[in-house]
Amino acid sequence: MATADDIALIKKQEATLIFLTFDEAVAFEIGSAIRSRALKENLPVIVDIRLWDRPLFYAAMPGSNASNPDWARRKINVVRRYLRSTYRLVLEQQRPDRTFKIGEGLDIADYVLAGGGFPVTVKGAGVIGVIAVSGLPEREDHGVVVDALCAHLGIDAKELALPPEEK
């Protein structure tokens, strides 16, 4: 039941975390906030914010590695294709090998089932881009993005936060 609850909450996040406008300045504010948090908390992440036609913000934190940008790129491709958060897809698909079903026709070199990619949605325009974080366990990557979006949009993050993962 916890997975179904998480999926429902992520759908609520996606429906709530909507921008009235999104441009280079907004991307810089959100990216800078994630970067500041990462430096403060020693989070070894990269953050990549982009519209479909161009990158807007990129930062690599100490401790991140050469694999993180590639993971972010593949997460970005997934958001672009499905227009939803990558962690939601992880929970919906339940595929431990991190690949999509063969029938989807998605090359593992370009698409990955891993949390940390979140759609940038603008009211009246739909999904126009993505915020991707890579370097932490996927639920935490997802949470970093959601926390930053909540802070920027003035929404109480506790209302939308996923509970700690059951072990």
Residue 161 counted as domain residue: no
The answer to whether the CB of 127 falls within 8 A of the CB of 78 is no
C-alpha 24/C-alpha 67 separation (Å) is: 26
Q: Is 58 helix (H, G, I), strand (E, B) or coil?
A: strand
- Report which DSSP code applies to 81: H
**What is the residue-averaged pLDDT of the chain?**
95
The answer to whether the CB of 162 falls within 8 A of the CB of 142 is yes
Residue 122 counted as domain residue: yes
Residue 162 counted as domain residue: no
Domain count, the chain: 1
- Annotate 113-131 with DSSP letters as a single string: --S-EEEEEETTTEEEEEE
Residue pLDDT, tens place only, 106-155:
989 999 999 999 999 999 999 999 999 999 999 999 999 999 999 999 99
CATH number, domain containing residue 29: 3.30.450.150
Residue 93 counted as domain residue: yes
Quote the domain boundaries for residue 109.
Answer: 2-156
pTM of the model: 0.95
Residue 15 counted as domain residue: yes
Residue 63 counted as domain residue: yes
